[in-house]
Structure 1
Amino acid sequence: MKKFLFVIFALFTLLLLVLAAVPFFFKDEIFNKLDQELAKTVNAQVYYDRDQINLSVFSNFPNLTAGMGDFGIRGNEPFQNDTLVHLGRMQVDLDIWSVIFDDNPSLKGIHLIDGEIYVKVLEDGRANYDIMYDSAQEADTTTTPSAFQLGIDLIEVQNLDFIYDDRSLDYLMILAEMNLEGSGDFTTAVYDLDLSGEGNIVNVNYEGVEYLAAKRITIDSKVNVNLDEMRFGVENASLSLNEFGFGIDGYLAMPEDEIEIDASFLGENNDFRSVLSLVPGIYSESFADLTTSGEMDFSGVVRGVYSEQSFPGFQFNLKIADGMFQYPELPRPVQHVNMDLAVLNESGKLDETSINLSKFSLEFGNQPLIGSFRLENLVDYEMEAKLKGNLDLMEITSIFPLEDMELKGKLAIDIDAAGRYDSLTSEIPRVEAAMNLADGYIKSTAYPAPIADINVKAAASNTSGQMKDFTFDVSSFGFELEQETITGKLLLSDLEALNYDFSIHGAVDLKKMASILPLEEMVLEGRLQADIDANGSYEAIERNRFGELATEGELQVADFYFSDLDYPQGVRIHDARMEFSPQYIQLSSMDGRLGKSPIEASGQLSNYMAYLFGESGQELRADLSINSANFDVNEWMTDTEDAAPDTTSLELIALPADIDFKMRVKADRITYDNLTLEDASGSIHLKDEVLRLEGFQTRTLGGTMAFDGSYNTRDILHPSFDMSLDISSLGIQEAFQSFVTVRAFAPVAQHVTGNFSTRFSFSGLLGQDMMPVLSSLDGKGLVRLAETAIKDSPLIKGITSITNLNETATIRLKPLNISAEIVDGMLNIAPFELQLWDYPARIQGSTGFDGRISYLVSVDVPASKLGSQVNNLVAGAVGTDLSNTSIPLAFNIGGTYSRPEVRLAAADNLETYLTNALKNRLSSEKENVQEQIAAEFKAREDSLKQEISEKARVARDSVEKQAEKLVEESKEKAVEEVKSLLKGFTNRNRTPEKTPPDPE
């Protein structure tokens, strides 16, 4: 018996040792197999850290548990910048017997821990989750199809963020800290999925409307899944938002493109507290200590088909009876809260939705607020609304906690409206409304003095239901802050003619106001003094009958300052004075700073009434004079994230369509990038999305520059410009350092000293960085070089190395003119003559925007300069006297300027070239040879031009795609702003996203 027990114990020990050794023996095999399967099935970059891999048999026996850290999936084009999945840790459970004995490992469970899933759908329907190869398509034709078995029993999610960004639907959903667990037999087409978990709803946004934000969600449900019919049903499912819980019974089916829904909802926590938890201002850290009472009843139904042509019908009912809540440590409650709300749509047509808030009442302490609202439909907006109450603001602060703020005042509201809204018949609801605020008072602990004597008296009246009989009268409003007062009034009548009577008088200190009513991430200072009276009508503005308008007064600004996150440089106005009339606003003077740049301005703003109140398309016109002693453009450039420190770049600026501004500009100094402009003056005209520069003159780089041009953003994806330059005596070296076009098309300028002048006109596209798209440029002009010198040019070195000319590395050039044109991003130089080391020469050719060059250089070189071996060859052909004998050398220059390819035309070496040249000279075929060389050069140049032209087209397409990408990135930015809420939503530490390794 003892032997038998010993054998059993030994076998059990051996089994444990084998199981413990399995992970070590099979680790590489398992993950090599995993990599193979992923390559076969997944069209994306899958990355994980093998150093963070562990295997265990005992933790989940009889399954083999494999864990890995820093796991992620990043998409391929066009989602190469989007990470579909990033996990701090992922764990998979595999059937251990299938790992040991089968060729096809069986996956039984998945655990996703600490990370983010980002699902993105583009406007054209492409989705970043569509990463599996089609069954008919193999990822690698040399590999066999995957035989991996999916038999998951459990899917678990821990501490995971989920983002669904669907551009095709304009829908965004962001969930945070999701903890979910789902179990079921996933191998069958019909199964029950047990699903439970919780998390946070950060944001749900559809077509720009935020429907949910900052809500806690929990779910506990059994879902019947029928994949054959794409039907998902629930019974007694439990769902809650914050503390508002409700049950769901029904199903959702997607047999085709349509979605069938039949679901009913019923409230679970039938108390007032659960409804309060949905109110953002109330559901806070102190909610747990809130005292509440009262009952709630909630129910709803959604039934029908959702498609492009239909919408399901729905009905929701919410009732609250005798609700009450009171904040801890505050003396007064909100009590006697009663509500009866019904939202009904039986037809499935959204326009036929009705809303009936038949009962609404509450008491702030002992102050009742009573109202009701009924809307029959969204077609003619037949409605009825009532609201009445008298509130003491001081008592409200004893009900709602207000940190660092004291309120006082009596607020009375009385609104009674009934009727319909129809713009075609000029109908509006009949209304009698009044709102009065008396003895208002606001005091913040951040400032010692209050905003006091706040008084507003307003009334709206319309007894006939016609727009022409409507009146809105703010008979008085005003307040006082440290002995400075603001008073005014506003009267609007006849919504068809829109008659107005407006006045405002007094002074206000903006810094004091901002101290009492803080502005987040904004600095605002200054003193405004206003004395303005205006009356008239929109009808008169629309018909340009400005004589019927009466507007007079002035606005004075002193020591004004504004800055925020978008404009950290700040805008300061030391002093400004504006005078108002019906036709225009006269800016008598303005002295200020834009960032560090001083600015003085004066002028006139006209048609402002029509622009502010008229139909779209009305132009705001201005005629201004602007002076600056030193304007620094660089301060307003935008830092790029991937550039070197302290570098900046411009961003494309879209110009408005309804602005007509004429500005005369004068500046003693303008700093732009690395360029300084002295004594700059000219005119700017902004109209119809085009900015025109007219008659600009300035001194820069040792010379003078005059230019006219335009910047056009009518097509924001193809912004364009044109420019006419008249430059005199500009330094060539300085121009090379300062102008990207000179560096691209005239790289020889880096080795040229002296000055040049030119009259040149060119046009093209601008990139999203406001720099010219070189591949799009077209232009022509004449370049005049003064006495210049070329030193250490690789082109000159290339010529001397072939000819063995023992000449200096510096060539001095006499004044000459060069005619040039740019076509499709290629600079073409017409043939011109010059002296190279006192030898007659002729140059022609072209430079592409990509840096490639093609030039033909012809030089008549005395034979005596070509060396003894060449002299002997020449002497044998023409006699012994070489003094008057010159050899016409021709060179083809290709490659790039920095690495030129210099070759003799029509020969491999100098000796062969000279032999052929002398034979041709003796046979009088010199002209034919020159023509042949020119023809061969033209053929090569035409071929290069065609290649450059095609490359230019591709480059322009790339620029357009970049523009489209930036338009898309503006949407991305909106998503990122909402995604950034995740960073502050919790205090937990997140695993940083890891960049996938480059493929070997």
Structure 2
Amino acid sequence: MGSKTDAVNFKMAGIPYLTNATLDIAMAVAADLINNSFTLKENRFSLNELTLGLDGTLNMPKDMPMNMDFTFVTKETSFKSLLSMVPAIYTKNFAGLKAGGTLQLDGHLKGALTEEVTPSANIKLQVKDAMFSYPDLPKSVNNINIELAVNYDGVNNDNTTLDLNKFHLEIAENPVDLVLNIKTPMSDPYVNGQFNIDLDLAAFADIVPLEETEIKGTIKSNIDFMGNMSTIEAEDYENFKAGGTLQLNNILYKSPDLPDGFYVTTANIEFSPKYVAVNNLNAGLGKSDFQFLGKLENFVPYMFDEKTVRGNFTFTSRHLDLNALMATEETPAETETADTASAPMAIVEVPANIDFKLVAKLDHILYDKIEITNAQGNIIVKDSRVVLDGFSVNMLGGSVGMQGEYNTQDVNSPMVDFALDIKQIDIPVAFKSLSMVQQFAPLAKNASGRMSTKFAYTSFLDQNMMPVLSSLVGEGRLMSN
């Protein structure tokens, strides 16, 4: 039995993991229908250039749990076969790609499948002395060495281990080194890791065809951590090793999809057992700029044990062009289905284990035709609530103050409670800047003067994030001169 497909695509969270991949399967199955037992021998599974041999048995006895015992191993031991799994590399130029080094990938899946247990699995990947380069480019990626072992215990998950004992490569002589070990993930997670990198991003243009893409800047890191979760929870920081920095300088990325370019002038991130601190981040997109500072505490217990993560941040900007920012996020209309376009909104739950405060100050914002200045205020995320505190902007010749919250403490019945204080909005400016006013109040075209209003609004929301009309309470007053 065989099957071949030439256009396999797989994308998750917007990231393409397979693009127009070739899938080729050749299977021989011996079936014992009396005992519901199936045996696979000398089967072949190929994805692009990577070919795995699959053998084993699947038993499905009556009134007994399903049981399996499978092994797989690489049939092709060249490193180039593994590179074929990378969409950015497996292109029309792949045939001319020069590659060397050896590959070993094998695994074992064995055990019963019930509501309580799953089959255990062991996977090993080893790459030795590998390299690759394109014939028309001056430099290469060398000294690629990987040692990875994953052992999953389907009966006792706490016995599961992950050991990335070595991950080393040199991108045009720029070294990258990773180590990661995890054990006892359920009872008391133990982690050991190192992340060391000294990379000039301009080197990518010398090793892979970038096709009208510009990237440059430097990334340096020397991060290491080792210890058990219990020491963090006990605030015994002396017995949990963690430290290092991540430094970005003069990063620039431009492409046909991002012609104005994204840049990071400087960023310094500091790691410790107690916190992660963004000491300074200066970045931007096109003519927009922003600066970010802050500290994140209790991050490790949040990641591994769902404890509360705390953070205090400051966000500032001299100029923010929201029109340009939103344009970069647009997707072609033809990729959207009618079902997606008409899909109702769903409740957005605010996690109870997040305690954040963001202080924002933006000097100038451009949104549609609206010029907004002196935007400032606090955004607080805490206890399953998002609170706007003391938020104010100058716009349309006047000012707008906002106060309120979105509350999901009862996720089945979220609520909103907001108040607006609009002062001295210039009516001709509002008509010129707001298409909604032009559409619903065309007579305002010939109006003059200023308008002020105070408005308060409270309502529960239904499962589609629409107001529950029976709960809606609103009051306000309108003034003009």
**TM-score, normalised to structure 2's length?**
0.71
**Cα 1:209–1:451 shift into 2, 3 Å:** closer
Cα shift at 1:241: 1.6
- Report the equivalent of 2:338: none
Unaligned runs of 5+ in 1: 1-194, 463-469, 523-537, 543-548, 562-571, 593-599, 636-666, 671-680, 690-712, 724-1000
Superposed, 1:988-999 pairs within 5 Å as none
Q: 1:254 aligns with which of 60, 73, 77?
A: 60
Offset from partner CA, 1:126-171 (integer Å, 9 cap, x none): xxxxxxxxxxxxxxxxxxxxxxxxxxxxxxxxxxxxxxxxxxxxxx
- Report the equivalent of 1:284: 91
**Cα 1:347–1:448 shift into 2, 3 Å:** closer
- Report the equivalent of 1:315: 122
Cα shift at 1:260: 1.4
1:261/1:312 contact within 8 Å kept: yes
- Greater Rg over alpha carbons, structure: 1
Cα shift at 1:427: 7.2
Question: CA separation in 2, counterparts of 1:489 and 1:359?
Answer: 33
**Cα 1:457–1:229 shift into 2, 3 Å:** same
Question: CA separation in 1, counterparts of 2:454 and 2:284?
Answer: 46
1:203/1:210 contact within 8 Å kept: no
Tell me whether 1:584 sits opposite 2:383 in the alignment: no
- Report the equivalent of 2:265: 454
What letter is aligned with 1:262? D
Question: CA separation in 1, counterparts of 2:143 and 2:97?
Answer: 16
Offset from partner CA, 1:374-397 (integer Å, 9 cap, x none): 111321221111111210111122
Question: Which is helix-richer, 1 or 2?
Answer: 1
SS in 2 for 1:623: strand
Offset from partner CA, 1:683-727 (integer Å, 9 cap, x none): 7844222xxxxxxxxxxxxxxxxxxxxxxx36x79998669xxxx
Question: CA separation in 1, counterparts of 2:81 and 2:247?
Answer: 34
Tell me whether 1:573 sits opposite 2:381 in the alignment: no
Tell me whether 1:687 sits opposite 2:459 in the alignment: yes
Superposed, 1:809-848 pairs within 5 Å as none
Q: 1:491 aligns with which of 274, 279, 295?
A: 295
Question: CA separation in 1, counterparts of 2:468 and 2:311?
Answer: 44
Superposed, 1:351-500 pairs within 5 Å as 351-379=158-186, 380-422=188-230, 425=234, 430-444=241-255, 454-462=265-273, 470-479=274-283, 486-493=290-297, 498=310, 500=312
**Cα 1:551–1:615 shift into 2, 3 Å:** farther
Question: CA separation in 1, counterparts of 2:263 and 2:154?
Answer: 53
**Cα 1:497–1:297 shift into 2, 3 Å:** closer
Question: CA separation in 2, counterparts of 1:358 and 1:406?
Answer: 33
SS in 2 for 1:396: helix
SS in 2 for 1:288: helix
- Report the equivalent of 2:420: 624
Question: CA separation in 2, counterparts of 1:585 and 1:266?
Answer: 62
Superposed, 1:692-703 pairs within 5 Å as none
Cα shift at 1:502: 2.4
Question: CA separation in 2, counterparts of 1:482 and 1:252?
Answer: 57
**Cα 1:490–1:552 shift into 2, 3 Å:** closer
SS in 2 for 1:402: coil
- Report the equivalent of 1:967: none
Question: CA separation in 1, counterparts of 2:122 and 2:396?
Answer: 62
Cα shift at 1:541: 7.4
1:235/1:248 contact within 8 Å kept: yes
- Alignment coverage as a number of residue pairs: 412
1:334/1:363 contact within 8 Å kept: yes
SS in 2 for 1:274: helix
- Report the equivalent of 2:319: 507
**Cα 1:552–1:625 shift into 2, 3 Å:** closer
Offset from partner CA, 1:197-242 (integer Å, 9 cap, x none): 2115746799x99997444221223210222222221111121122
Cα shift at 1:354: 0.9
Unaligned runs of 5+ in 2: 300-307, 334-351, 380-387, 444-452, 472-481
Question: CA separation in 1, counterparts of 2:165 and 2:442?
Answer: 69
Tell me whether 1:270 sits opposite 2:94 in the alignment: no
Offset from partner CA, 1:74-114 (integer Å, 9 cap, x none): xxxxxxxxxxxxxxxxxxxxxxxxxxxxxxxxxxxxxxxxx
Cα shift at 1:555: 4.7
- Report the equivalent of 1:602: 400
Superposed, 1:590-669 pairs within 5 Å as 590-591=395-396, 602-606=400-404, 621-624=417-420, 668=441
Q: 1:556 aligns with which of 348, 357, 364?
A: 364
**Cα 1:210–1:472 shift into 2, 3 Å:** closer
What letter is aligned with 2:27? S
1:436/1:456 contact within 8 Å kept: yes
Question: CA separation in 1, counterparts of 2:454 and 2:248?
Answer: 53
Question: CA separation in 2, counterparts of 1:539 and 1:219?
Answer: 46
What letter is aligned with 2:160? T
SS in 2 for 1:273: helix
Superposed, 1:953-992 pairs within 5 Å as none
Q: 1:337 aligns with which of 125, 144, 149?
A: 144
Question: CA separation in 1, counterparts of 2:94 and 2:260?
Answer: 33
Cα shift at 1:447: 8.7
Offset from partner CA, 1:393-429 (integer Å, 9 cap, x none): 1112222322222222221111101112358656785
> Larger relative CO (CA 8 A, sep 6+): 1 or 2?
2
**Cα 1:719–1:452 shift into 2, 3 Å:** closer
Offset from partner CA, 1:233-285 (integer Å, 9 cap, x none): 11111211221111122111222373211111121001101111122222223
Cα shift at 1:604: 1.6
Question: CA separation in 1, counterparts of 2:319 and 2:393?
Answer: 19
Tell me whether 1:230 sits opposite 2:33 in the alignment: no
1:235/1:249 contact within 8 Å kept: yes
Offset from partner CA, 1:651-706 (integer Å, 9 cap, x none): xxxxxxxxxxxxxxxx7589xxxxxxxxxx997844222xxxxxxxxxxxxxxxxx
Cα shift at 1:320: 0.4
SS in 2 for 1:285: coil
- Report the equivalent of 1:219: 25
Offset from partner CA, 1:947-974 (integer Å, 9 cap, x none): xxxxxxxxxxxxxxxxxxxxxxxxxxxx
1:201/1:212 contact within 8 Å kept: no
2:17/2:86 contact within 8 Å kept: no
Question: CA separation in 2, counterparts of 1:247 and 1:305?
Answer: 22
**Cα 1:224–1:485 shift into 2, 3 Å:** closer
Question: CA separation in 1, counterparts of 2:466 and 2:292?
Answer: 48
**Cα 1:411–1:204 shift into 2, 3 Å:** closer
Question: CA separation in 2, counterparts of 1:217 and 1:409?
Answer: 38
Question: Which is strand-richer, 1 or 2?
Answer: 2
Superposed, 1:724-739 pairs within 5 Å as none
- Report the equivalent of 1:812: none
2:40/2:57 contact within 8 Å kept: yes
What letter is aligned with 1:250? G
What letter is aligned with 2:29? V
SS in 1 for 2:176: strand
**Cα 1:283–1:448 shift into 2, 3 Å:** closer
Cα shift at 1:370: 1.4
2:318/2:362 contact within 8 Å kept: no
Cα shift at 1:602: 3.3
**Cα 1:453–1:262 shift into 2, 3 Å:** closer
**Cα 1:539–1:372 shift into 2, 3 Å:** closer
- Report the equivalent of 2:349: none
